[in-house]
């Protein structure tokens, strides 16, 4: 079978292929931002966006998401979204933990963190050693 494309169809296909090859991140990453409470998750995400504003494309306050210039999406996680079956409606490649210098989130929220990590085992495209990042809350 031979396909013959019109000039217009060939032009559209070329544009789409060029976009795929020139895009810095064709399959953008999805990160979850988890604080000690759901409110701290939202606060931490806002702080992260303010501290990295040159990399932020836009902030969606209604969905508690930040989109970076490379296409990466960072979502503030709500504890109600975490279950033993994973995260409701989210694909996560990496988890950012947000807490103060005491890092009590690992002790008091260990069950939830382990549930997220076990879910990420199946879907994450990030090496295991880099699946959790710590982002410290340094309020003045």
How confident is residue 126, by pLDDT bands cut at 50, 70 and 90?
confident
How many percent of the chain have pLDDT more than 90? Answer: 36
Longest dimension (CA), the chain: 69
CA distances, 47 to each of 29, 53, 137 (Å): 20, 10, 9
Write phi, then psi, for 5 (nearest 5 degrees): -100, 145
pLDDT in tens, 32-79: 999 988 999 999 999 999 999 999 999 999 999 999 998 899 999 988
Summarize the confidence of residues 85-108 as an average pLDDT: 83
41 closest CA partner among 120, 113, 128: 113
Query: Which residue pairs, CB below 8 angstroms and at least 24 apart, start in 56-64?
Result: none
How confident is residue 1, by pLDDT bands cut at 50, 70 and 90?
very low
pTM of the model: 0.76
Check residue 33 and give its pLDDT: 93
């Amino acid at each position: 079978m031979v396909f013959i494309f019109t000039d217009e169809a060939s032009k559209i296909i070329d544009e789409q292929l060029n976009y795929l090859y020139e895009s810095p991140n064709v399959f953008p990453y999805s990160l979850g931002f988890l604080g000690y409470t759901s409110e701290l998750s939202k606060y931490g995400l806002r702080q992260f966006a303010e501290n990295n504003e040159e990399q932020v494309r836009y902030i969606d306050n209604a969905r508690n998401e930040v989109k970076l210039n490379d296409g990466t999406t960072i979502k503030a996680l709500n504890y109600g979204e975490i279950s033993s079956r994973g995260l409701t409606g989210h694909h996560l490649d990496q988890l950012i933990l947000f807490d103060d210098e005491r890092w009590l989130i690992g002790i008091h929220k260990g069950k939830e963190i382990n549930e997220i990590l076990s879910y990420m085992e199946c879907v994450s495209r990030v090496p295991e050693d880099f699946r959790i990042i710590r982002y410290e809350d340094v309020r003045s």
